[in-house]
Amino acid sequence: MANKHRVVIIGGGFGGLGAALRLKHAPVDVTLVDRCNYHLFQPLLYQVATGTLSPANIASPLRTILKSHKNTRVILGEAIRIDPANRQVILSDGAILYDTLVIATGSSHQYFGHGEWERFAPGLKTVEDATDMRRRILLAFEAAEREQDSEQLKALMTFVIVGGGPTGVELAGALGEIAHDTLRQDFRNIDPSKARIILIEGTDRVLPAYPSGLSAAARKMLERLSVTVRTGAMVTDVQNASVTVREGDRSETIPTRTILWAAGVLASPLGRVLSEETGATLDKAGRVIVEPDLTVPDHPEIFVIGDLASFSHQTGKPLPGVAQPAIQQGKYVAGTIERRLRGEKTRPFHYLDKGNLATIGRAAAVADLNWLRLSGLPAWLIWIFIHLFYIIEFQNRLLVLVQWAWLYLTYDRSARLITGKNPLPLDL
């Protein structure tokens, strides 16, 4: 083993894991480093946040996935610095030498310079984020059931989702269903279907990356679930119990106890670290601007992929921060490493856009497959099929299917647990 080419991959998301999986039979030593001991299927994280699925259903231990990869070791650790001169990754508790480095540490949410909003308006990137969001949503209904004051009650029954991209739309749709169907008979003093669910989007339509016909269809489906969609609306302030929104010249402060953040993506801080060490340029979102072969300028031994990479060689604008580009980039990098070792010529990365899918609720989704645009039931069936297909472990596929079927038949979301630090008394 000692003389083999050492590939270090930082991050076990779609990009990093994709690369590791493809290197199974390559004549290299692979080290995969992640802060978590599992690969998270992020596209379904909103279903954990809304009580449909359990975290373990969408999180697979990296060691399980890679157990048959005899050339691969997994390390639970956090990369804090890169040392390109000595070709090593500095962890919070050690260092790892590399010959080729693949950085795939993804992104987190950002608050447009208002980090203080995060406390009141949590985002959705990790399992802990999802269980925290679930806790806030359920506690708001619990507190409403016991609230006497009508102003307070109104704030507790108001849910504001900031950001009309796929995550915001999916959260709003699921909340609409929870309020109307799942919780319908659960309370005695409040009527959950009276909950106000407000989706705020800065541009002029939801799902702005989709064709406008599908945006309109998504909006209609959201409104059918009683979600109030406010486009062209900017959030100008977030407080403990309110959010302020500006639409054109008008500004309004909405009293609410639950604000969910689904806007603004910020690349992983490792991008800045890398930029300082190698002189690589970052784009406005903090992503590393990469070469056509996904390497860092002047560092052919360092690849950056997934949400952390800004790759605009193909269409003139960066690829979106979703699973497909990350997966394809992971595979591409693994192939490029193998070609190099064989002394073969490498090709630039080419992204094959397979389309976009977002679900709004029961039998309600939009699908843009490039050659075909669908909404409603057919889009929803495609969404289900594709997501089940991409979930990694067979057992999880089965568990997710059982829970989706149950939800479809009964409207019940059984993973509605309030967990975490003691929430009592209910001063949210």
Contact segment (CB under 8 A) with its own copies among 4-12, 142-150, 155-163, 375-383 equals: 142-150
Cis ω before 348 (30° cut-off from 0) = no
Q: Which is nearer to its own copies, 153 or 379 (CB)?
A: 153
Q: Does 186 bind its own copies (CB under 8 A)?
A: yes
Beta bridge partners of 72: 30
The site for its own copies, by CB under 8 A, has a size of 61
Cα distance between residue 186 and residue 194, in whole Å: 13
Q: Which is nearer to its own copies, 185 or 371 (CB)?
A: 185
Q: Which is nearer to its own copies, 3 or 316 (CB)?
A: 3
Q: Does 4 bind its own copies (CB under 8 A)?
A: no
Residue window 409-428: x/- pattern of binding to its own copies, with contact defined by CB under 8 A: -x-x-xxxxxxx-xxxxxx-
Q: Does 35 bind its own copies (CB under 8 A)?
A: yes
Contact segment (CB under 8 A) with its own copies among 98-106, 125-133, 300-308, 354-362 equals: 125-133
Query: Which member of 78, 118, 147, 170 is catalytic?
Result: 170
Among 83, 116, 128, 344, binds its own copies (CB under 8 A): 128
Among 93, 149, 151, 249, binds its own copies (CB under 8 A): 93
Contact segment (CB under 8 A) with its own copies among 99-107, 141-149, 259-267, 321-329 equals: 141-149
We find the least distance from the C-beta atom of residue 134 to its own copies, in angstroms, to be 10
Q: How far is CA 297 from the centre of its chain?
A: 28
Residue window 326-345: x/- pattern of binding to its own copies, with contact defined by CB under 8 A: --------------------
Q: Does 193 bind its own copies (CB under 8 A)?
A: no
Cα distance between residue 273 and residue 92, in whole Å: 14
We find the least distance from the C-beta atom of residue 418 to its own copies, in angstroms, to be 5
We find the least distance from the C-beta atom of residue 12 to its own copies, in angstroms, to be 13
DSSP labels, 182-246: ITTTT-SS--GGG-EEEEE-SSSSSSTTS-HHHHHHHHHHHHHTTEEEE-SEEEEEEETTEEEEE
Q: Does 42 bind its own copies (CB under 8 A)?
A: no
Do 405 and 362 meet the contact criterion of CB atoms below 8 Å apart? no
- Clarify whether 170 is annotated catalytic: yes
Classify residue 272 by burial, with Cβ atoms within 10 Å: 0-12, 13-18, 19+. Answer: middle
Q: Half-sphere exposure of residue 245, counting CA atoms within 13 Å on the CB side?
A: 21
We find the least distance from the C-beta atom of residue 60 to its own copies, in angstroms, to be 7
We find the least distance from the C-beta atom of residue 274 to its own copies, in angstroms, to be 20
Contact segment (CB under 8 A) with its own copies among 221-229, 316-324, 329-337, 408-416 equals: 408-416
Q: How far is CA 104 from the centre of its chain?
A: 14
HEC assignment per residue over 84-125? CCCCEEEECCEEEECCEEEECCCEEECCCCCHHHCCCCCCCC
Tokens (6 digits) for 234: 């900017």
- By residue count, the chain amounts to 428
Mention every residue, 6+ apart, whose C-beta is less than 8 A from residue 71: 4, 23, 24, 26, 28, 29, 30
DSSP labels, 358-417: EEEETTEEEEE-SS-EEESHHHHHHHHHHHHHH-S-HHHHHHHHHHHHHHHHH-------
Q: Does 402 bind its own copies (CB under 8 A)?
A: yes
Do 133 and 124 meet the contact criterion of CB atoms below 8 Å apart? yes
Tokens (6 digits) for 160: 């504001």
Contact segment (CB under 8 A) with its own copies among 126-134, 201-209, 210-218, 370-378 equals: 126-134
Among 26, 138, 333, 360, binds its own copies (CB under 8 A): 138
The catalytic residues are: 170
Footprint on this chain of its own copies (rule: CB under 8 A) = 35-38, 54-57, 59-61, 63-64, 67-68, 73, 75-78, 91-94, 127-128, 131, 138-139, 142, 145-146, 183, 185-189, 393, 395-396, 398-399, 402-403, 406, 410, 412, 414-420, 422-427
